[in-house]
Structure 1
Amino acid sequence: MMNEEEKCEIDPDYYDVDESPTHQRNNNHDHPVAITSTNGDENHPNPPSNQEHHEGWGFTDPKLRPFVIISITYLLFTITDGAIRMIVLLHAYNKAFSALNVAVMFTLYELAGVFTNLAAGMMGARWGIRFTLLIGLSLQILSYGLLFGWKDEWSKQQAIVYVTIAQMFAGIAKDLTKLGGKTVTKLVTPEGRDTRLFRLVSLLTGWKNSLKGVGYFLGSALLEVSYQAALWTMIAIILFALPFAVFGLSKDLGTAKKKNSSLKEIFVLDNFNLNVLSFARMFLFASRDFWFEVPLPFYLRSPNCFALGPGFTCSADDTDACTSGAQCDPTLEYCTNINTGGGCGGPGVQRAIVGAFLGGYIILYGQVQSWTPQLVTGPLKQTPPNKITEVFWGVINCYPTMIGSIVLYASEAFKEYQAQGMMGWLITIIVTFAVIFAINSSIHSYLVVKYAASDKVAVSVGFYYMANACGRLVGTLGSGFIYTYAGGENFYIEGYNPGMDARLGLAACFVAGTVCSLLAAVITVWIKDDESGLKCGPCWTIVNSTEVEAGVKSEDHDSGNILSEQQCIIAA
């Protein structure tokens, strides 16, 4: 277990968007203390005196001003980051791009996360948070601006290359802007357990995940108005955020006075536990993205196979005759599939509902992750978690997608297209996965801090979250390939080819996700950390604790203090 001095080396610059530590407790567990950077950032405001604490901190306090400005800017950016994926994906779906085509479009976005995530911290330490924030917001405007140039007359190859480059700028923008959002808690140091500022930190942290979910929905819903309206709305949100960063922040904010870490130092390979955890992390996130980012929205948009073809006639004056995601072809005068490359067999819901579906998942995931110590690991006596805890929850993580694949393959609700039954199963599977995946992610967020104790924490964590980005990249690209080619032969309708069976494509992606979940759990077994054992409540011990057997009991394991500490570790 790391000591408090080592914990306070953590640099949130390197952390993923929904899993960075924000605060640790000091030695007496009475007061939250801001995490200081290994980059030697000495520009943070001093803790408020007792007099300041009793008077309370208002929004006009100069110590709080950078915190508020950066938080507002980052939260507004988060909306546009969620929206851009839905805008690109659903617009591409209506242009008949396959799932593999869309997955390729996201490749440079995810790849940018691998490298920019490592370089952003060094850029901020050298040029300041204001610089990286402005560059990130500007690149996001550039990315949205480039999407206006997507021409209908282009070939698919031309469009894929163009949109992929536009998405690359969005990926870079995300990590540069994230630097400001994730270092915001280093700018203030509240004294006292329940200060107004500390409660504000927790509130804004929760809003971050909620607003990303709002972005998913907003981007999808605005497409129902028009593609251009969706793009202009998101640009307007970024332009609204820009003045806060331009006029409200000092150019020296967040710059380091000590030597910054080099890229060479980031690739630290001598920490066995952290390296194993990073490898497991890659498969954990791939277990989600093998079915979530591309296959799920494609399946939700795909129409009913049994409502297509010459048997379902329509005309230019009666386009409403086609239902369940189908469209009327006035030339053929029957209902056809908007995107044969996306297959048929799904519920065929509107784009706004697709956005609400995915956005709801993100909001639920973020909230469960934040409250895991209080609601799950704490009551089960699994706080602080160890390797065995993660293996336990990692195995459980396999079940939702495994059951989902079986249901999609075998359930009459999907085979006979019973719309209510299909949606009921999908909601149950995805909500269950979101809860279990959030628990796994929160445990990982604690373990990375624990295992990084023997090394420079910021450097080690940078490598860890690079593995996280690699998992998203592998999952996204792999999902497009599996969904496109695992659906078997095209669904047969006499006189019409509606595309492959999307039901089988999504089921295969669930299988891939299950395999990745299992691999993540198996890899975690290699970690050398068995001290705390495993309990499932006060009365059920699955694995005995070696610490208890040896009579070791530290004050640091006081349940209330540990809950507070773990909550702070996973808070962002």
Structure 2
Amino acid sequence: MLSKLPTNVRQYLIITGNYWSFTLTDGALRMLVVLYFYQLGYGALDIALLFLFYEFFGVITNLFGGWLGAKWGLNRTMNIGLALQIIALSMLLLPNQYLTVPWVMAAQALSGIAKDLNKMSAKSAIKTLVPKNASGTLYKWVALLTGSKNALKGVGFFLGGLLLSTIGFHHGILVMALTLTLVWLSSLYLLQGDLGKSKNKAKFSEILSKSREINLLSAARLFLFGARDVWFVIAVPVYLSSQFGWDHWRVGSFLALWVIGYGLVQSLAPHVTGKAKQQNPTGAQAKFWAILLTAIPASIAIGLQSVDDTLAVLLIGLILFGVVFAVNSSLHSYLIVHYASEDGVSLDVGFYYMANAMGRLIGTILSGWIYQDFGLIACLWVSCGFLFLTSVISFWLPQKACHKSSP
């Protein structure tokens, strides 16, 4: 059946399968580490520090990974990402006495490199597989890949908890490492050679984008993801636990469901933003949805100060934020692939996701510091400020309507 499909569709399915498999292990690994080290007596902020290198090396990887993708081909960078994740998982198979903080941080650093190599490769590869005149198809494929990835990351949270409770930390890690090894071997055989490789020799000096549109979109992306993580990564789970007495499993389950819902909305974003009318996203739409999102953390902060039922305010606010944030993220994911040059697409996509990773890193650090010293409401106002900057930057994105998509 697969052999009868067009080559570009087969390659898209292989790339998506790789990305899905990686994402499941990425989400499960995060939950395994969080829950297991929580059981060992680590505090919430201590656990967050275990992921500091994960985010930091994501910045470095996206900056240089795009150049490597253009130089070597996206099939190679994707397969390298899968291999590094297998090594990262294997590092955690040591007995407990050897799982020191530096060792776990090193494993998370490798996992962060692997994740962003895999993501950059998958997003860039779609640009090479979709015909130039099929913008509607490009948006649909990008939204499906991005949304399904985030939904599966939420499923990975559940998977991590299930593995920990049924077969334990080390056996759970072993199962994931062996499964991903099979995926990696299949990818080495099936994924098309030289996918996305630049026809011209990729220069190292080109890792920084020279495109005005991509620079603007990257800046908007940095503040967009900083605005999410400044209150969602540490402040929200700690607040739910300390203020409402939620146990660790309840907090983890809620966050997993939130991520799954967020991914599903991302997949449906083309229908929300005009796909039914055969209209593709523009900078004007990115601006509108960023302004709409800015109002939500401000409303939550005001509600927490003025409404007695603070749990309802927070949960409803989180759901609304997740829906609107998902549309914003999906719009950006389409626009970067749309703006990226045909030759050496990974250079532009890698630079953009470097800004994305930088936003996550800044948000993660600020989330711990601001919540610890000033509380959740302060985190929400910082989020609002970041989203205001995203909205302002979006005014400079190309506002002109795109051509209607091809059938």
Shorter-chain TM range is 0.7 to 0.9
TM-score by length of 2: 0.82
Q: Following the alignment from structure 2 to structure 1, what is the Cα–Cα distance between the partners of residues 339 and 150?
A: 26
TM-score by length of 1: 0.61
Residue 515 of structure 1 aligns with an amino acid whose one-letter code is G
Which of 251, 258, 265 is 1:354 aligned to? 251
Q: 1:123 to 1:463 in 2, by over 3 A?
A: closer
Q: 1:443 to 1:141 in 2, by over 3 A?
A: closer
Q: 1:110 to 1:263 in 2, by over 3 A?
A: farther
Q: Does 1:211 align with 2:152?
A: yes
Instruction: Specify the alignment match of 1:332 in structure 2.
Output: none
Q: Following the alignment from structure 2 to structure 1, what is the Cα–Cα distance between the partners of residues 227 and 104?
A: 26
Residue 175 of structure 2 aligns with an amino acid whose one-letter code is T
Q: Does 1:241 align with 2:241?
A: no
Instruction: Specify the alignment match of 2:206 in structure 1.
Output: 265
Q: Following the alignment from structure 1 to structure 2, what is the Cα–Cα distance between the partners of residues 296 and 426?
A: 9
Q: Following the alignment from structure 1 to structure 2, what is the Cα–Cα distance between the partners of residues 219 and 203?
A: 24
Instruction: Specify the alignment match of 2:2 in structure 1.
Output: 59
Instruction: Specify the alignment match of 1:438 in structure 2.
Output: 326
**Deviation sequence 1:456-505 (CA, Å, 0-9, x none):** 8654443222211111110011112222333xxxxxxxxxxxxxxxxxx3
**Deviation sequence 1:323-363 (CA, Å, 0-9, x none):** xxxxxxxxxxxxxxxxxxxxx22332342x43332232223
User: Which runs of 5 or more structure 2 residues have no equivalent in the other structure?
Assistant: none
Residue 117 of structure 1 aligns with an amino acid whose one-letter code is N
- Name the SS for the 1:224 alignment partner: helix
Task: Give the deviation of 1:249 after TM superposition.
Answer: 4.4
Q: Following the alignment from structure 2 to structure 1, what is the Cα–Cα distance between the partners of residues 322 and 37?
A: 26
Instruction: Specify the alignment match of 1:403 in structure 2.
Output: 299
Instruction: Specify the alignment match of 2:387 in structure 1.
Output: 517
Q: Does 1:92 align with 2:33?
A: no
Q: Following the alignment from structure 1 to structure 2, what is the Cα–Cα distance between the partners of residues 150 and 479?
A: 32
Q: Tell me the percent identity.
A: 38
Assess if the C-alpha contact under 8 Å between 1:99 and 1:480 holds in 2.
no
Considering only aligned residues, what root-mean-square deviation do their CA atoms show, in Å?
Answer: 3.8
Instruction: Specify the alignment match of 2:48 in structure 1.
Output: 103
Assess if the C-alpha contact under 8 Å between 2:63 and 2:354 holds in 1.
yes
User: Which runs of 5 or more structure 1 residues have no equivalent in the other structure?
Assistant: 1-57, 303-343, 415-421, 487-504, 533-555, 566-572
Assess if the C-alpha contact under 8 Å between 1:125 and 1:255 holds in 2.
yes
Q: How many residues align?
A: 401
**Deviation sequence 1:75-100 (CA, Å, 0-9, x none):** 11110112222222233333443443
Greater strand share, structure number: 1
- Name the SS for the 2:243 alignment partner: coil
Instruction: Specify the alignment match of 2:57 in structure 1.
Output: 112
Instruction: Specify the alignment match of 1:370 in structure 2.
Output: 267
Q: 1:258 to 1:452 in 2, by over 3 A?
A: closer
Task: Give the deviation of 1:120 after TM superposition.
Answer: 2.9
Q: Does 1:482 align with 2:378?
A: no
Residue 295 of structure 2 aligns with an amino acid whose one-letter code is Y
Residue 175 of structure 1 aligns with an amino acid whose one-letter code is D
Greater helix share, structure number: 2
Which of 158, 161, 164 is 2:105 aligned to? 164
Residues 213-232 of structure 1 aligned to structure 2 (within 5 Å): 213-225=154-166, 226-232=168-174
Assess if the C-alpha contact under 8 Å between 2:140 and 2:270 holds in 1.
no
Task: Give the deviation of 1:289 after TM superposition.
Answer: 0.8
Q: Following the alignment from structure 2 to structure 1, what is the Cα–Cα distance between the partners of residues 278 and 127?
A: 29
Q: Following the alignment from structure 1 to structure 2, what is the Cα–Cα distance between the partners of residues 385 and 467?
A: 21
Larger Rg: 1
Assess if the C-alpha contact under 8 Å between 1:482 and 1:508 holds in 2.
yes
Task: Give the deviation of 1:136 after TM superposition.
Answer: 2.0
Task: Give the deviation of 1:224 after TM superposition.
Answer: 3.2
